Structure 1
Amino acid sequence: MKFTIIVLDSVGVGALPDAASFGTPPGDGGSHTLNHTLAATGAQLPNLARLGLGMVPTVTGMPAVPDVHGAYGRMREVSPGKDTSTGHWEFMGIQLRHPFQVFPDGFPPAVMDAFTGATGTGYLCNRPYSGTEVIRDFGPEHLKTGDPIIYTSADSVFQIAAHLDVVPIEQLYDWCRAAREILQGEYAVARVIARPFRGSAPDFERAGELRHDYSLTPPPTVLDALRYAGREVIGVGKIPDIYDHRGFSEEIHTDDNPDGIAKTTQRMGQDFDGLLFCNLVDFDARYGHRRDPAGYGAALEAFDAALPGLLAQVPDDDTDGGGALLIISDHGNDPTWHGSDHTREYGLLLGWRPGIGAVDLGERATFADVGATVAEALGARWTGPGESFWARLK
C-alpha cells in the first residue's frame, strides 16, 4: 500500500485554547494562519476546497463547495510547543511532557566556551534574531573576522550562519555537528541548523538549498514500527532531519516547495510499499517568518494547483494494494501576526482516497492520531499515543 503524508509547514487553522500563553505578550490568541492569509490576499484554493478545507471548523473565506470529496478536520497539539520538531514528533507518536529548551537571552558561557573550544573560532551575535536580519547586521563583520554568526529564536534552535565564500559548506556542517554534541542534557535544543548565505552587503541572501538540520534523536516512533513491520519509509525534504534520520529506508533532498511537490509526485508514481512523508517548508521559512502574506498566499495557490497531480498518483484498492493521502500541518506561522515567530494553532487535517465521499473527522485530540492511522493502514504494531481514524477513510 502507498500511504503519503504531505506537511504544509506552518499552515495552522486557528489558535489553540492555550495560545494566549505562548509567544510574546499578548501571546498567540487570535492567530489564524490560513484565515488571515486568505483575508489579506484573496487567494483561491478550489482543489483544497473540494477536499473539504472550507468545512474545517473556524476556516472562513472559502467558497461553498456543493460536492466535497475528502476527509476533513483539525488536530490539537498536546505537547507544549509550537515548533517543527514538537509537531512532527507528535505526528509519529511522541507527546512531550516538557517543552524543548529555549534560550531567550542567548546561550550561556558554558555552551559558547565549549563551542569555541571545539571549533577554534570566535562567534558573533548569540541572541534571538531574525534569520534575514542577522546576516544583514552581522554579515560584514563575519566577512572580516570569519567568525560564525550564532543566533536563536523563540524556538529551540541553535543556528549557525556563515558566508559560503568565507566558510566552506562542509566546515559549516562540521561546526554544526560539534554544536550538536555540546547541546545535550541541560542545554539540549531540538535542532542545530546550518544557515549558509551568499552575496554582498547589504544584499546577502540565504542559501536555503544548503541548509541542514541536526536534530535530537527521538524515542522510538511509528516510523520505527513501520520499518520493523517491513514497510518502506521515504522521507522527502527536511523530514529525515527532523527525526535525526531514524526510521527511514530512503531520503530525497528538495530545494523548495516546487521541487518538493515535483519529487513527491514523481515518487508517488513509482513502486513502494509503505509511507512517503514530505514536508513543504517554504510556507514557514520563506513567508511566515518574514511576515509576507502575499508570498504565503501565492505558495498556497501553487500547492492547490499541483494538488490534482498528486491525487492522480494515489492508487485505488485494486492497484498496488491501494493508497491514501493526508495533508496536515505542524503549527502556525501567521504572516499577519506580530513578531516573526511561529503561532500556537490547530493542525490542519485533510485526507483523500479514490472514491471517498465527504467525511468529517472532527477535532482530533492529538497530532498522534496521524501516526496511529498510518500504523493501522500499513499493518504495523503501535501501542503508543494516538487513535486511528483509518476506518473512516475506507
Structure 2
Amino acid sequence: MTRSIIIVLDSVGIGEMPDACNYGDAGSNTLHNIAEYMGGLELPNLEMLGLGNIHQIKGVQAQAHPKGCYGKMAEASRGKDTTSGHWEIAGVILERALPTFPQGFPQEFIKRYEEAIGRGVIGNEVASGTEIIQRLGEEHVKTGKLIVYTSADSVFQIAAHEEVVPLPELMHYCQTAREMLTGDLQVGRVIARPFLGQAGEFYRTANRHDFALEPPRKTLLEYISEQGLTVNAVGKIHDIYAGKGITDFCPTKNNREGIDKTIEYMGHEHDGLIMTNLVDFDMVYGHRNNAEGYAQALKDFDQRLPEIFKRLKPDDLLIITADHGCDPTTPGTDHTREYVPLLVYGLRIKGGVNLGVRPTFADLGATVAEFLGIDPLPAGKSFLAEIKNG
C-alpha cells in the first residue's frame, strides 16, 4: 500500500515572509507569538517531529535527533488566502492574487444580486464575522435582509439566522452569488455563515459551507484520482477544491471531528491520498484574536498525534503543514502572510533531515506526486530523494 496523509493546520504560520510588510503583516509569527503570549507551549509530539528545529518557539525544544524531517515553506502565490494556499500545496501557483474588496462590493453588483434573490442586503463591508452579526443581526431578523460582508481575503460571506433563512435557502443564495461573481469579481470563496440566538447573544453555528472557485488548472488531487487511486477529503478540503479529484469526503464541524475522520480513513485499505483541513485554529481562534484558545487547540492536536502514528502503515507518508498564518496576538483579525511549517514522518522515512526553506508550497505536492508514482506536476520540486530510506 502506498498512501500519503496531508494534515493542514489551518492558519498555523511560523514567521513573517520577506514581503509581509506589503500585506500589513510585519512582525506576524503565529506559533512564536502565541508561545510568547502563553509563556510557552507544551507540544511534545510535534517537538519530537522537529517543530522546534524550524523556529524558536518557547517551550518547544529543538531536538538533536528529531524523528521527522522539518523545514518551512514560502507561498509563491500572491495573497494569504485559504484557497490560494491549498491550491499551491496541490501544485497550482497563482500569478495574480484573487480579488479582494476593502471598500465592499460594487453597489451595482449588490443591486443586481438583490434583484436575483428577491431579498435585500445589509452590511457590504469588511468586518469580523462574529462582530457583524451582533451589530446587524437584529436588523436582519426584523427585515429578512441578508448580512453580506468580506475581509482581507477573497471572500463573499453571507450571514443569516437559521430561523429566518432556512439553511437550504441560504445555500441557494450562496450558489447564486457564486454564479454571479465573475470576471473582476471572481472571489475565491462564497461562504455561508449561518447563526442562531437572540439580540446581543447571536452565535455562529457549525453549518458553514464554502462555495469555492474551481482551480484554474489540474491539481495534485486530480492527477492522483486519474490514476485510479483514492482521494479522501476531510473538513473543508472538498469545498476548497470544488470537489475536483476527490473520490470520497467528509465535512466536519470542528478539529476533533476532523482528526476522528482522518484516523477512520487511515483504517481503510486504499492507496492514494488522505487530505485534512483542521479549521478551528483559523475560524474559532485566529480570527477572534483568542491566543489562549489557539494554544489549547494546538495542545489538543498534539495529544492526538499518537493515535495518528499508531494507524500509520509501513509505507505511509505523513505531512503536517499549514496554508497561511492568522496571528491572534496582532491587532487585526485577518490572515497573516507567513511561512508555514513542514513536518514529514513515516516508518520508512529518514528522521532528522533539514528540508530548509522551500520556495513554494508546491514542493509538498511534487513530493507526494513522486511518492505515489504520479508524473511530475507542472510546479514544485520534490524532496522525496532527501527523505526516503534506501
The alignment's TM-score, normalised by the length of structure 2, stands at 0.96
Quote the residue 1:259 is aligned against: 257
What amino acid sits opposite 1:264 in the alignment?
Answer: T
| Structure 2, gaps ≥5 residues long | none
Q: What's the RMSD between the two structures over aligned residues?
A: 1.1
What is the distance in 1 between the residues matched to 2:377 and 2:361?
A: 15
The 2-side partners of 1:84 and 1:393 are apart by 28
Q: 1:269 aligns with which of 267, 270, 273?
A: 267
Q: Report what 2:369 is aligned to.
A: 375
1:332 aligns with 2:302: no
The residue number in structure 2 matching 1:29 is 26
Correspondences of 1:111-190 after superposition (within 5 Å): 111-190=109-188
8 Å contact 1:352–1:393 — kept in the other structure? no
Aligned-pair identity (%): 48
- Map Cα deviations across residues 113-156 of structure 1 (whole Å, 9 max, x no partner): 22111100001111011000010000000010011100000100
- Structure 1: how far apart are the matches of 2:85 and 2:376? 19
Question: Aligned partner of 1:379: which letter?
Answer: G
Distance 1:85 1:281 in 2: 13
CA distance in 1, matches of 2:131, 2:148: 13
Deviation by residue 1:311-340 (Cα, 9 ceiling, x = unmatched)? 111111xxxxx1110000110000101111
State the 1:59 CA deviation: 4.4
Shift of 1:47: 0.6
Distance in 1 (CA, whole Å) between partners of 2:95 and 2:333 is 26
Partner of 1:14: 15
Q: Take 1:184 and 1:156, find their aligned partners in 2: how far apart are those partners?
A: 13
* Whole-angstrom CA distance in 1 between matches of 2:14 and 2:106: 36
Shift of 1:392: 2.3
Contact residue 16 and residue 346 of structure 1 kept, 8 A = yes
SS at match of 2:192: strand
Which residue is 1:350 aligned to?
343
Preserved CA contact (<8 Å) 1:353 1:393:
no
In structure 2, what is the Cα distance between the partners aligned to 1:359 and 1:157?
38
Matching residue of 2:334:
341
Q: Is the 8 A contact 2:91 2:377 kept in 1?
A: no
CA distance in 1: counterparts of 2:377 and 2:279, whole angstroms: 30
Distance across 2 between alignment mates of 1:111 and 1:89: 27
Listed as ranges, the matches of 1:65-76 within 5 Å are: 65-76=63-74
2 CA distance for matches of 1:217 and 1:194?
17
Per-residue deviation, 1:242: 0.4
Report which stretch shifted further, 223-232 or 291-300: 223-232
Q: Given the alignment, which residue of 306, 309, 312 partners 2:307?
A: 309
User: In the aligned structure 2, how far is the partner of 1:181 from the partner of 1:118?
Assistant: 11
- My pick for the range that moved more, 39-48 or 3-12, is 39-48
Contact 2:42 2:59 in 1 (8 A): no
Aligned counterparts of 1:150 and 1:336: Cα–Cα separation in 2: 27
Give yes or no for contact 2:50–2:62 (8 Å, CA) kept in 1.
Answer: no
Tell me the alpha carbon deviations over residues 42-63 of structure 1, each in whole angstroms, 9 at most, x when there is no partner: 2200110000000004545422
Q: Shift of the alpha carbon at 1:349?
A: 0.3
- Equivalent pairs counted in the alignment come to 384
**d(CA) in 1 for partners of 2:55, 2:120:** 50
Superposed counterparts of 1:144-293, under 5 Å? 144-208=142-206, 210-218=207-215, 219-293=217-291
Deviations 1:2-39 (A, max 9, x none): 210000000000000000010xxxx2111100001111
Matches of residues 48-67 of structure 1 in structure 2 within 5 Å?
Answer: 48-67=46-65
**Aligned AA (1:76):** A
Runs of 4+ in 1 over 6 A off after TM superposition: none
Counterpart Cα distance in 2 of 1:17 and 1:91 = 20
1:381 alignment partner AA: D
Between 378-387 and 139-148, the greater mean CA deviation after superposition: 378-387
Q: Does the 8 Å CA contact 1:14/1:31 hold for their aligned counterparts?
A: yes
Task: With the length of structure 1 as denominator, give the TM-score of the two structures.
Answer: 0.96
**Which stretch of structure 1 is more off in the superposition, 330-339 or 384-393?**
384-393
* Letter of the structure 2 residue corresponding to residue 361 of structure 1: L
| CA–CA distance in structure 2, aligned partners of residues 84 and 378 of structure 1 | 25
Q: Structure 1 residues 267, 194: CA separation in 2 closer, same or farther (over 3 Å shift)?
A: same
5+ residue gaps, structure 1: 317-321
- For residues 287 and 378 of structure 1, the distance between their equivalents in structure 2, rounded to whole angstroms, comes to 35
- Provide the rounded CA distance (Å) in 1 between the counterparts of 2:64 and 2:357: 22
